[in-house]
Amino acid sequence: MSGDQLDGVMNEKWFHALRFDERRTTNGRFPKSRPANYTLFAALEYLRHIDVAGMDCLDLGTMDGLLAFTLASMGAGRVVATDMAPRKTFDAGRAFLGHDIDYRHPVSIETLGAALGGQKVDLLVCCGILYHVFEPLVSLVQCRERLRTNGLMILETQYSYAEPGPVITYSPADREGGSIHANTFFRPSFTALIAMVETAGFEVVSTISTNARITLLARAARPSETKASTPMVQTILRTYMSYKNYGERVDYRALEACQDLSPISHSVPLGSHRWLNSSTYRSASPYQPWWDPSPKHMAARFAEDQRFRVRTMLARRSHLPAIEQQPLTMR
């Protein structure tokens, strides 16, 4: 697609802010007082440490394609991007950049297996989806089933960051901290989310918190090899393979026996839990715009980062090393 053709959709309503070249940057959904795409900063940070070259990658709920385009620019062997409905902004961006991305719609997590023809991938990216589904644990299982053994999942979601215990908040009933959006339902606490991801057949490698959101890097592990966060999750992974009545939801035997192994590698330390300051972070993605705030907006955003960080640390009773700033790669 030529520059003139892309210009024809630049004034459309874009979900992501995308930097296409020196002249063309879309606005995205956030006001200028917030960094563009800041909810995806942790996912972009994880991608810096994953070798996706030649790998099969899947971006669920791609919207305008920031993560799918980034994966393609990193040399992924195959990128599949799905969404519930087509977006001409994605089509325009893909054509302008010349990326060979398999764009499929309408596709939900529930129909993912059929949409991919049963194929598995090495990396699955699931950002901003889990709090929109009615059955989050089932959705995590469906993500696990689409991954090769040892494949990786990047999961980004809202969570109950101030809750110290293993609870799940039902957002529509939360009068004080609930979402303003009618399609937001469940927000697990940190410990609940970790246990849910493990129950679905993953080993949690690392987490990065950003204000009221969290991003996990998880490995699609065999149940017998997973080191779970609690004794009961460990028991579930070991014993449910013998419970016939649970085969409808998760087939642990199939996960254990799968010989379709992923060669994907990463350099993220196992068990690392960190905090990302959205006000100071700079992404290495060539499509992430530079945030140039006024001193007032920078001060307000930095203060908000610190308030969330303190409340998160108090809930977990732990220190969270901060990811302050990373080099920005300009195109």
Model pLDDT for residues 84-134, shown as the tens digit of each residue:
999 999 999 999 999 999 999 999 999 999 999 999 999 999 999 999 999
Query: For residue 249, what pLDDT is reported?
Result: 75
The string of pLDDT tens digits covering residues 181-192 is 788 999 999 999
Q: 222 and 240 in contact (C-beta within 8 Å)?
A: no
Which residues are 78's β-sheet partners?
A: 56
Residues 255/201, Cβ–Cβ less than 8 Å:
yes
Spans of the chain, pLDDT less than 70? 1-2, 241-248, 324-331
Q: At what angle do helices 88-97 and 66-73 cross, to 10 degrees?
A: 20
- Could you tell me what percentage of the chain is helix, strand and coil, using 3-state DSSP and rounding each to the nearest 5? 35, 20, 45
DSSP-derived secondary structure letter, 116: T
DSSP 253: H
C-alpha distance from residue 27 to each of 6, 196, 221 (Å): 14, 35, 39
pLDDT of residue 174: 86
CA distance 37 to 44: 10
Distance between CA atoms of 139 and 128, rounded to whole angstroms? 13
Q: Which residue has the tokens 């494949």?
A: 151
| pLDDT, position 331 | 29
Number of Cβ within a 10 Å radius of residue 300: 15
Q: Is residue 52 within 8 Å of 75, Cβ to Cβ?
A: yes
Q: Give whole-number Cα distances, 85 to 12, 40, 106, 185, in Å.
A: 16, 21, 5, 21
Burial 187-210 (b: 16+ CB within 10 A, else e): bbbbbbbbbbbbbbbbbbbbbbbb
The DSSP code for 283 is -
With contact defined as beta carbons under 8 Å apart, do 25 and 289 qualify?
yes
Distances (CA, A) of 131 to 33, 68, 158, 184, 250: 25, 21, 7, 5, 20
CB 44 within 8 A of CB 65: no
> Using H for helix, E for strand and C for coil, what is the string for 48-72?
CCEECECCEEEEECCCCCHHHHHHH
Domains of the chain: 3-323 (3.40.50.150)
User: For the chain, what is the mean pLDDT?
Assistant: 92
Cβ(129)–Cβ(157) below 8 Å:
yes
